[in-house]
Amino acid sequence: MPSTAEERELLDELRELLAATVEDLSVEEVGPDSSLKDDLGVDSLAMLEVIAAIEDRWQIEVSQEQAERLTTVRQIAAHLSEAVAAPAGGTA
């Protein structure tokens, strides 16, 4: 994923959302390539909260299958870029 200003902004917003959603996590700890589980300690319950926060913030729906594939901050950002750009009712 090339680093454009829009993508950096999305990553920053995602980092802030993760820090606000996951207990004992600060924005500084969240890097673009951080593994949610291994690096940030996001367990299955916290992941549900993260997905709910993402759905609420970006007004998208993230299926269980999609959520299971999103294991790093950069993967979530890439998914959001596609989902937000997709027309309503799209399959992103």
- 92 found inside a domain: no
Exactly one of 12, 39, 43, 56 is catalytic; name it: 43
Structural domains in the chain (count): 1
pLDDT in tens, 7-39: 899 999 999 999 999 999 999 999 999 999 999
Domain containing residue 62: 5-22+32-85
- 90 found inside a domain: no
- 91 found inside a domain: no
- 66 found inside a domain: yes
DSSP for the chain, written as a single string: ----HHHHHHHHHHHHHHHHHSTT--GGG--TT-BTTTTT---HHHHHHHHHHHHHHHT----HHHHHH--BHHHHHHHHHHHHHSPTT---
Domain containing residue 11: CATH number: 1.10.1200.10
- 27 found inside a domain: no
pLDDT in tens, 41-90: 999 999 999 999 999 999 999 999 999 999 999 999 999 999 887 765 55
- 76 found inside a domain: yes
Q: Is 43 a catalytic residue?
A: yes
Please state, as a whole number, how many other Cβ atoms lie within 10 Å of the Cβ of residue 57.
14
